[in-house]
Amino acid sequence: TNLPNFDEKNLKFGYFIGTNTYNYKIKYEEDLYPLKVEKGTGLNVGLIGEIKIRKNLNLSFEPGLYSNNTKIIFNEKLGFNSLNDTVWNVKSNNIHLPILLKYSSNRLNNFKPYLKAGLSTSINLNEIEGTLSNNGLENFKFEKFNFYYELGFGVDFYLRYFKFSPSVRGVFSLKNEIPNNTPDNPWTRNIDKFLTRAIFINFSFY
């Protein structure tokens, strides 16, 4: 058996690297001209701090930087000066701060499946790239702070010198990301709520 006493530690540290895909759940004022989202794949990097609460239950804090590039295409053409106006390049660089409960099964030889769930917040560092100023909406950005709930699963593999832990998490926004003080404009006029949905695939090392 590898690392037989690893889980006896009350405090464990690690790091992760991974990939992400962002999508959006959009609720419209009127059911006309739905937006098209071209999803991109991004990169995740971050640190892990894990506190043992009791056997098979840990509290995990996993701050990281999540980058992504997504394209939003507006199918309604009226109100725009050119076709270039109907495309938003959403280059995201989010500082993501989740606090997660990790519930594990009993260890089976050198692996142990687990579930993770919790809440998180993120800080959006980017503005939208697009030709917005011609329509009176300059330097538009989504809400700077967002809040989510997260659900995921993974497996801990106990190797000879370290623990390797691949995982998959679904991330679901709890907050409308269109700012309340946004001026009337062709882009957000028909959007009631704009909510992020994401999938994180992380490879963690302890």
Q: In this structure, what token pair is assigned to residue 150? A: 């997260």
The pLDDT profile of the chain, 206 residues, written as one tens digit per residue, is: 899 999 999 999 999 999 999 999 999 998 878 899 999 899 999 999 999 999 999 999 999 999 999 999 988 877 777 777 788 888 889 999 999 999 999 999 999 999 999 999 999 988 776 555 555 566 677 889 999 999 999 999 999 999 999 999 999 999 999 988 888 888 888 899 999 999 999 999 99
Q: The whole model's pTM is what?
A: 0.89
Residue type, 51: I
Asked if 66 and 92 count as a contact pair (C-beta separation under 8 A), the reply is yes
Q: Which residues contact 86 (CB under 8 A, 6 or more apart)?
A: 73, 74, 75, 76, 77, 80
Asked if 119 and 150 count as a contact pair (C-beta separation under 8 A), the reply is yes
Distances (CA, A) of 75 to 33, 34, 120: 6, 7, 32
